[in-house]
Amino acid sequence: MTALETIKDTVEKNDVVLFMKGTKMMPQCGFSSRVAGVLNYMGVEFADVNVLADAEIRQGIKDFSDWPTIPQLYVKGEFVGGCDIVTEMTLSGELDALFESKGVAYDKAAADKIREANA
């Protein structure tokens, strides 16, 4: 499989996927750490893809989404965005609404705590 085929397959087979630098248990960049931290704190089950482990995947995800930066979050096959967008969506409640509309389980109380701490 090509890198793009692998990416497409990963996005289609997982409800939530984070293409990131490092892993959800050991992020290797601040932006990846922030997004993984939000998802972990909110109790979202997600697949993590370490783009540092494969140069073709690292470039391929940028081509796949037509988005130049990493991390990149996908929910039910839909590209959501990177760190800034995920942060804004978390603080505005839009991420909660997206998870609810897509049937993705998450901890609403944890999401509320994130917003309270950043109010």
Strands of 47-50's sheet in order across: 47-50, 16-20, 72-75, 78-81
Q: What angle do CA 103, 72, 114 make, to 5 degrees?
A: 60
- Residue 83 assigned to a binding site: no
Instruction: Please list the alpha-helical segments (H only) found in 1-49.
Output: 3-13, 30-41
Bind-site residues for [2Fe-2S] cluster: 29
Bind-site residues: 29
